[in-house]
Amino acid sequence: MLNTTSDFRDLRFEKIESLKPRERVLKTAIALFNKHGVHTIGIDRIIAESGVSKRSFYNYFPSKSDLIAAYLDFWDAFRFDNLEKHISIAKGGAKGEILAVFDSLEDWITQSDFNGCNFTRGLNEFSDEDTRPLREKVDAHFKKSTDFITARLADLVKPGKTKTLLPQLLSLILGAMVVAHITGDTKIAQLNKKIARTLLEE
């Protein structure tokens, strides 16, 4: 199983009026950063739309980088909390848990605010020394995803085959998000799941 945040809250679906100042800011940032990107949205707009004072904002987020870090933490928690839900009902042991990744992807890419993978975007958005801590969060997310697949392949195939299967499976996972983002085709997750199943049965 996964070590997920058991108290994860999806702020996207909570009414902003019911939230505390920090949560109001984060909910607003999640929506704006997800739609427009982290570099095109300024702090003043987030403060205005969240309805908090500038002082409250800086009490919780001393810099924009701190807010972006919280934004990345939210999406990391969402992705793995969602995956855990699908793993909990998956059948077929390690193979079933790998295939559950595609079910969790389908769940995500069919949501109305899906706008591509926040972490693949981060590979370009956080590429200099000033954004290195944010890039480390992106890298940590991908490592967690890779480790999840690697651990389950270890129960299914010999190490030599893992070296071949791992990049193939990661390509299917990442490719599903890219294709869904570009084309709007939400069926891609299940199509790639069928390919993954074939690879795991060879």
Please state the domain extents for the chain.
7-62, 72-201
Q: What is the mean pLDDT of residues 170-176?
A: 97
CA-CA distances (angstroms) from residue 136 to 3, 22, 50, 74, 115?
19, 23, 28, 15, 22
Contact predicate 31/96, CB 8 Å? no
Mean pLDDT (the chain, rounded): 95
**If pLDDT is split at 50, 70 and 90, which confidence band does 6 have?**
low
According to the model, what pLDDT value does residue 2 have? Answer: 59
Q: How far is residue 74 CA from its own chain's centroid?
A: 8
Give the number of other CB atoms < 10 A from CB of residue 14.
Answer: 13
pLDDT, one tens digit per residue, over 137-165 is 999 999 999 999 999 999 999 889 999 99
pLDDT, one tens digit per residue, over 91-144 is 999 999 999 999 999 999 999 999 999 999 999 999 999 999 999 999 999 999
According to the model, what pLDDT value does residue 3 have? Answer: 53
| Fold for the domain defined by 7-62 | Arc Repressor Mutant, subunit A (1.10.10)
Considering the entire predicted model, what is its pTM? 0.93
According to the model, what pLDDT value does residue 109 have? Answer: 97
Has residue 197 got a pLDDT over 90? Answer: yes
Contact predicate 118/134, CB 8 Å? no
Both tokens assigned to 47: 């403060």
CATH 1.10.357.10 given to domain 72-201: yes
Both tokens assigned to 27: 């909910």
